[in-house]
Amino acid sequence: MGKKKLIIHDVNKSFVVNGQSVDVLKDINLEIEEGEFVVIVGHSGCGKSTLLKMIAGLEKNDTGILSVDGKEVDGPGMDRGMIFQEHRLFPWMSIEKNVQLGLKGLSKEEKRKLSDQYLELVKLSEFKKAYPSQLSGGMSQRAAIARSLVSQPEILLLDEPFGALDALTKIELQEEMLKIRERFHNTMIMVTHDIEEAVFLADRIVVMSARPGRIKDVIKVELGKYRDRGSTDFTHYKKKIFDYFFEEKTVTPEYNI
Ligand SMILES: Nc1ncnc2c1ncn2[C@@H]1O[C@H](COP(=O)(O)OP(=O)(O)OP(=O)(O)O)[C@@H](O)[C@H]1O
C-alpha cells in the first residue's frame, strides 16, 4: 500500500436550486494513493465535476472530510492543478505567457526556462510565441496541460480534458498523459465520458450512480502498464463498466464504448 494522498470521508453535497435543496453527491467515501490514476465515470449530472471541484477547493462539501496529505481542503492550492474540457487559455496572451501565469515569485529568466521546459514536454516549443487562436484544439489542450504542470502540482484534476478532441488526437494525448505521469509521479484524478479512455488510463475506475451521485463500484484495472485496446481483457473491462449503465437505464448517448 502506498501513501494516502487524498481522503474523502462521508462527503455530501447539495445545491439550492429555485429555493429548494437538491442532493448532488451522497455518502462519498474514497481514498486515493500517491501516484495513483483514478478515473471517475457516471451519467451526466451525477456530480463528477462537483467532486473534482471540491478536491480543487473550488466548491465546499456540506458534510464529511476531504483532505490532501492529512490536511483538510480549504480552498485552491498550488499542490492541485486542474485541466478542463475547454483549454481556458487567455486569448490575448502568447502560449508562453499563458504557461507562465501560474508561476509566482520567480525571475523572468526562471519563468522562461520553466515554460520552455514544459512546452517542450508537450511538443509546443515552436509555438511558444503563437496565440491560442492560432492553435488547433489538440495543441491548445497541450498548452493547457503545460500550464497546469509548470507549477508542479502533486495532484492533477482532469475534467473531461479530451472530450472535445478528435479520436486520433485524443489517443495521442492519452498516451502522453501516461508518459507525464511516469515522469512526474503525479496523482491523477480524471472525469470522462469515454469508457475506453477510462480503461486505458486508470489504475482504478470509480463508477457513480445517477443523481444523487453515489459511488456504485470501484474497479481495479489489472491490465499492466502498456494496454492493448483490442485485447480480450481490455474489452472485458469495457463491458463491465458499460453494463453498469444498462443496469440503471437504457443506454445513454453520452457514453462512448
Ligand atoms: N453552482 C451550482 N449551483 C446549482 N446547481 C449546480 C451547481 N453546480 C452544479 N450543479 C448541479 O449539480 C448537478 C451535478 O453537476 P456536475 O456538473 O457536477 O455533474 P457531472 O456529473 O459532472 O455532469 P456532466 O457529466 O454532464 O458534466 C447538476 O444537476 C448541476 O445542475
Ligand 1 pocket, residue 17 CB under 6 Å: yes
pLDDT at 254: 56
Mean pLDDT calculated for residue range 126-147: 92
Phi, psi for residue 34 in degrees, rounded to 5: -60, 130
Contacts of 216 (CB under 8 A, 6+ apart): 42, 207, 208, 209, 244
What's at 223, amino acid-wise? Answer: L
Is the separation of the CB atoms in 144 and 164 below 8 Å? no
- pLDDT over 90, % of the chain: 68
- Which of the four pLDDT bands, split at 50, 70 and 90, describes residue 249? low
pLDDT in the model for residue 214: 94
Q: Same domain, yes or no, for 186 and 100?
A: no
173 & 257 share domain: yes
Name the pTM for this structure: 0.91
Last residue of a domain, one of 133, 152, 171: 152
For residues 225 and 236, membership in a common domain is answered with: yes
Cβ-based neighbour number of residue 206 at 10 Å: 23
Task: Scan for cell 464504448, then name that residue.
Answer: 257
Q: How confident is the model at residue 68 (pLDDT cuts 50, 70, 90)?
A: very high
Distance 18 CA to ligand 1 centre (A): 15
Q: Which helix (H) or strand (E) holds 203?
A: none
First vs last C-alpha separation in the chain: 31
Q: Say yes or no: 75 and 171 in one domain.
A: yes
Last residue of a domain, one of 122, 152, 182: 152
* Res. 165 pLDDT band, cuts 50 70 90: confident
C-alpha of residue 44 to centroid of ligand 1, in Å: 8
Both 147 and 168 in a single domain? Answer: no
- Residue 105 and residue 207 in one domain: no
Do both 158 and 54 map to the same domain?
yes
Task: Give the three-state DSSP class for 38.
Answer: strand
Verify whether ligand 1 is closer than 6 Å to residue 55 (CB atom): no
Residue 17 CA, closest ligand 1 atom number? 4
Q: Is the CB of 45 under 6 A from ligand 1?
A: yes
